[in-house]
Amino acid sequence: MITKKRVSKLLLGLITVVLFLIVLFPFFIVIINSAKSSLEIITNPIALPARWGQLIDNIANIWTNPSINYASSVYASTIITVLSLLFISVFSAMAAWVLVRTKTKLSSFIFLIFISGLVIPFQVVMFPLVSLFRIIGNNLNIQLLRSYQGMIFAYIGFGAPLAVFMFHGFIKSIPYELEEAALIDGCSKPRIFFSIIMPILKPIFVTICILNAIWIWNDFLLPSLILGIGQPLQTIPLAISAFAGSFVKQWDLIMTAALMAAAPIIIGFLFGQKHIIKGMVSGSIK
């Protein structure tokens, strides 16, 4: 029995290492190829770079390239991501709190509407979404296409279902007696939420923010539909796509720009992974 357990643990450890290497391999390819020229990448993409200093040259080339204005795309991605995360997390938490504390058939129906957003593929609604944005913009004189507000509004709509679902499951575990005591002390509903409920929801807030940040920061399809490719306002994925032309692909700049785009998300994930696991576990148990 002891031998079988040792063999099972060894086999499990071997499988874990193999899976880890498989997952890590694409990132390894991006790192080594970001320090090469296009010729080196085409010649031998899996070889180590001859000169790691080429990475600095590629980064400088990207920042000074006038055709894409990478600094502007970083600013746009930051604004869109930060504001989208703020609205998704706060509004979803408020909605979930009201739905949990309001015991009516209407609240249950609204919660089911939110959950239905998790099972509808984005590809089904992407073209109707663009048409709807154009109609709303023309009728209400609001610029939803080629604008920050259009991107943020779309991300709130697509990010809210999962956020409401996770907040809803966690809030149900919070004793209602806390809110009753606050009401007796004279607290208003907004103060109860922001002073009592919100601090308790910190693990879920961090989980929601990091999961949505990974998606929003790296998203290409939705910005390409709403902002368009080659427009003055563009996110980082759209800027990276400018290096891939119809006839020439600048693989060195593509790899370097992809590494630069992934670095902030990876760092944020490493710092927040403890809260992600805690939020997931708390939401599943409670």
pLDDT averages per 10-residue partition of the chain, 286 residues:
76 90 90 89 87 88 82 92 95 94 90 89 86 87 88 93 92 87 86 89 88 91 88 88 74 88 83 65 50
Q: Cα 18 to the chain's mean position, in Å?
A: 27
Q: What is the pLDDT of residue 18?
A: 92
In a domain, 171, yes or no: yes
In a domain, 224, yes or no: yes
Structural contact between residues 239 and 73, judged by C-beta atoms closer than 8 angstroms = yes
Whether 23 maps to a domain, the answer reads no
Residue at 19 is within a domain? no
What pLDDT sits at residue 235? 92
Count CB atoms within 10 A of the CB of residue 168. Answer: 20
Whether 27 maps to a domain, the answer reads no
Give the number of other CB atoms < 10 A from CB of residue 162: 19
pLDDT, residue 286, reads 46
Domain with residue 151: its CATH number is 1.10.3720.10
Give dist(CA 223, CA 212) in Å, integer.
Answer: 15
Range of the domain at 118: 60-285
pLDDT at 19 (0 to 100): 92
Task: Provide the whole-model pTM.
Answer: 0.85
Residue 44 placed within a domain: no
84 Ramachandran zone, left/alpha/beta (phi>0; psi -120 to 50): alpha
Determine the pLDDT at residue 1.
Answer: 56
Distances 240 to 29, 46, 53 between C-alpha atoms, Å: 17, 21, 21
d(CA 168, CA 99): 8
φ, ψ for residue 47, nearest 5 deg: -85, 155
In-domain check, residue 86: yes
pLDDT at 97: 93
Instruction: Tell me what pLDDT residue 285 has.
Output: 47
Q: Is residue 77 part of a domain?
A: yes
The full DSSP string for 191-226 is HHIIIIIHHHTHHHHHHHHHHHHHHHHH--HHHHHH
In the chain, how many domains are there? 1
Burial bucket for residue 220 (CB in 10 Å: 0-12, 13-18, 19+): middle
Query: Can you tell me the distance from the alpha carbon of 187 to that of 132, in angstroms, rounded to the nearest whole number?
Result: 41
